[in-house]
Amino acid sequence: MLVVMRVGATPKEIRSTVAAIRKLGLTPNVIPGSLRVAIGITGNKGAIGREQLELLPGVAELVPVTKPYKLVSRETKPEDTVVAVGAGGPSTSLGALSERSESKGVRFGGERFTVIAGPCAVESRKSALAVARAVKAAGALAFRGGAYKPRTSPYSFQGLGKKGLEILREVREETGLPVVTEAVDPQSLEQVARHADMIQIGARNMQNYSLLRLAGQSRRPVLLKRGFSATFEEFLMAAEYVLAEGNYQVVLCERGVRSFADYTRATLDISLVPAVRKISHLPVIADPSHAAGRRDMVPALSRSALAAGAHGLLVEVHEDPDRALSDGGQSLAPAAFAELMDSLRRIAAALEVTC
């Protein structure tokens, strides 16, 4: 159930409605919009008595939400959410929801196409900085690089950890690019929330609900990658865990799903992009590097994601892909990345999207 407040409802009216919902034993979730405020109600087992709410001062209407996902749904919030990353200190949940209210930081959502680029793993200060400068020059707006790497084998390189986070901070200071990096457990999440601009939750942890809750409590923007075989509903429900903690700054990321197809490492499910744009107000980007698992397909998949309506990309770029400590085969060299960005700008212009 969604309580839509009148345009111009006063803070007091909103507080009274919130209190009334609490009194019914339910959980109110205040969702500010550019025109008016809505309050999502969660925690109900069955039907909610309408009469106690619809006559309260300032309440415009009650809207039943028919899907299991509530806060992520366009039924709850019709307008696109714009997530601002690197806006200088943790954003409040209010700020993330309205395009008007964000004047700083790199933005995801609406009619823009925002590219995050960088190496799979942070390997050294020197190489991270070199890649960061190269991708910034080519047009990337944010930097990625793993400090904590979830690896299939316990014997593989697991990332530099805190040392990696420090390098990321230096990258931000030197280049101005906000940095995105993955958290894999409570300890790393705390570190990432402190040092990075955006917390990445990887595909393997998409249903690690404890981690999602911590990400929701962190107040940092979250980049949530789809699980290897997550359905659309499961993916949105994972985001719902973050929003349910009051953090509305979630960017969804399609990174390919498991299928029988064997010429790419995963099968980029391009249809997810228009599906998310229709059903949810959250931004959605694509990771062509992990989907393809081979760099020769990254440009074609990147262009297809833009044309399908994605709000951005997460692309792996490495100074010297053949010597990367992890996933080098799918990383673009800086020159190939610059060429890709050129073609993306041309397509974005044709689509009237800011790139």
Within 53-112, which residues bind a second copy (CB under 8 A)?
68, 70
Q: Which is nearer to a second copy, 86 or 216 (CB)?
A: 216
Q: What are the structure tokens assigned to 231, written together?
A: 């359905």
- By CB under 8 A, residue 271 contacts a second copy: yes
- By CB under 8 A, residue 337 contacts a second copy: no
In the bound complex, what is the minimum distance in angstroms from residue 353's beta carbon to a second copy?
Answer: 11
- By CB under 8 A, residue 168 contacts a second copy: no
Stretch 24-53 residues interacting with a second copy (CB under 8 A):
42-43
Please state, in angstroms and as integers, the Cα–Cα distance from residue 146 to each residue in 49, 168, 251, 259, 326, following that order: 48, 9, 18, 26, 10
Q: Which is nearer to a second copy, 34 or 271 (CB)?
A: 271
In the bound complex, what is the minimum distance in angstroms from residue 317's beta carbon to a second copy?
Answer: 19
One of 306, 313, 340, 353 touching a second copy (CB under 8 A): 306
N-to-C CA span, the chain: 37
- By CB under 8 A, residue 170 contacts a second copy: no
Q: Which is nearer to a second copy, 3 or 87 (CB)?
A: 3
One of 241, 295, 334, 337 touching a second copy (CB under 8 A): 241
Q: How many residues does the structure list for the chain?
A: 355
Q: What are the structure tokens assigned to 314, written together?
A: 């997460």
Give backbone dihedrals phi and psi of 74, rounded to 5 degrees, phi first.
Answer: -70, -20
Q: What are the structure tokens assigned to 280, written together?
A: 């949810």
Q: Quick one: which segment of 7-15, 88-96, 128-136, 302-310 binds a second copy (CB under 8 A)?
A: 302-310
- By CB under 8 A, residue 270 contacts a second copy: yes
Cα gap 168→166, rounded to integer Å? 5
One of 57, 78, 88, 186 touching a second copy (CB under 8 A): 186
- By CB under 8 A, residue 197 contacts a second copy: no
Q: Which is nearer to a second copy, 99 or 185 (CB)?
A: 185
Q: Which is nearer to a second copy, 137 or 350 (CB)?
A: 350
- By CB under 8 A, residue 323 contacts a second copy: no
Q: Which residues contact 93 (CB under 8 A, 6 or more apart)?
A: 219, 246, 247, 248, 249
- By CB under 8 A, residue 308 contacts a second copy: yes
DSSP, collapsed to helix, strand or coil, labels residue 232 as helix
Task: Please give the angle made by the CA atoms of 165, 335 and 349, to the nearest 5 degrees.
Answer: 95
Q: Which is nearer to a second copy, 134 or 223 (CB)?
A: 223
User: Cβ distance 319 to 127 under 8 Å?
Assistant: yes
One of 233, 320, 323, 354 touching a second copy (CB under 8 A): 233
Q: Which residues contact 321 (CB under 8 A, 6 or more apart)?
A: 295, 328, 329, 331, 332, 333
Q: Which is nearer to a second copy, 132 or 348 (CB)?
A: 348
Encoded one letter per residue, x for contact with a second copy by CB under 8 A and - for no contact, window 114-153 reads ------------------------------------xxxx
One of 31, 106, 142, 211 touching a second copy (CB under 8 A): 211
One of 16, 92, 124, 267 touching a second copy (CB under 8 A): 267
Q: 3-state secondary structure string, 308-344?
A: HCCCEEEEEECCCHHHCCCCHHHCECHHHHHHHHHHH
CA dihedral 304, 307, 310, 316 (to 10 degrees): 40
Cα gap 311→307, rounded to integer Å? 10
Cα gap 58→139, rounded to integer Å? 46
- By CB under 8 A, residue 278 contacts a second copy: yes
Give backbone dihedrals phi and psi of 162, rounded to 5 degrees, phi first.
Answer: -55, -40
In the bound complex, what is the minimum distance in angstroms from residue 194's beta carbon to a second copy?
Answer: 18
In the bound complex, what is the minimum distance in angstroms from residue 30's beta carbon to a second copy?
Answer: 17
One of 12, 15, 104, 346 touching a second copy (CB under 8 A): 346
